[in-house]
Amino acid sequence: MSKGRILVDMDGVLADFESELGRRWAELWPDDDFKLYSQRTRFDADQKSVAIPDVQSKFYQIYTTPGLFATFEPIADGRGLEAINQLLTKDYDVRIVTSAGSQVHAFGEKAEWVMNHLGREWVRRLVVTRDKYFIDGDVLIDDRPNACKDEDSSWQQIIYDQPYNQQVDDCPRLSWGDGDWLHTIEQTVAQVQASR
Ligand SMILES: [Mg+2]
């Protein structure tokens, strides 16, 4: 039996979505200052929070481009990939849980990314769903704020540290570059299991 189930989001936690977004943005709109987007203080950008003309429509133009999701580099020089492999060797049941929205091509691209960077064993551990509360687990590591406020979920969110989620102060927080990540996960899993 596993020591617990750890759900791990993909974009912004394992896959470096923002760097590829910035690269493509600079190619398409070289006059925009992408730093205004990458240094935003909220997860979702709108015209009020990010002073780039047509920021939302430009974002969606890139976001919906076929092929995008297979091109991301691993985050933190691959330390996230090493971390989830380490969790498996410690007898945790680890699943990658990611949303592909309604873009049919993104489902395959996400599986392709996992195959390329983690291998076949991990393709079997991939769950693609927009509704992460459906999936049972002890913790969900995710960069999107407020996943932990969903009353129907069985898991506790651990927020993956990013500039755009600094306002979240009611979740444990980790980054793969931070030496405490394993302790944060193990402690949170133990707390969740003890509270059931
Ligand atoms: Mg994410």
Tell me: the pLDDT tens digits for 122-155? 999 999 998 899 899 999 999 999 876 666 899 9
> Which residues touch 183 (CB under 8 Å, ≥6 apart)?
none
Q: How far is the CA of 8 from the centre of ligand 1 (A)?
A: 9
Q: How far is the CA of 113 from the centre of ligand 1 (A)?
A: 15
pLDDT in tens, 5-48: 999 999 999 999 999 999 999 999 999 999 999 999 999 998 98
Q: How far is the CA of 142 from the centre of ligand 1 (A)?
A: 6
pLDDT of residue 57: 97
Q: How far is the CA of 32 from the centre of ligand 1 (A)?
A: 24
pLDDT in tens, 56-66: 999 999 999 99
**Strand-strand pairing, 156-160 and 139-142:** parallel
pLDDT of residue 138: 97
pLDDT of residue 149: 65
pLDDT of residue 124: 98
pLDDT in tens, 111-125: 999 999 999 999 999
Q: How far is the CA of 27 from the centre of ligand 1 (A)?
A: 23
Which residues are annotated as catalytic? 9, 11
User: What would the DSSP string read from start to end of 106-155?
Assistant: HHHHHHHHHHHHT-HHHHTTEEE-S-GGGS--SEEEESSTTGGG-TT-SS
DSSP lists the bridge partners of residue 160 as 174
65 vs 189: CA distance, rounded Å? 37
Task: Output 107 or 150, whichever has higher pLDDT.
Answer: 107
pLDDT in tens, 70-101: 999 999 999 999 999 999 999 999 999 999 98
Q: How far is the CA of 23 from the centre of ligand 1 (A)?
A: 18
125 vs 111: CA distance, rounded Å? 10
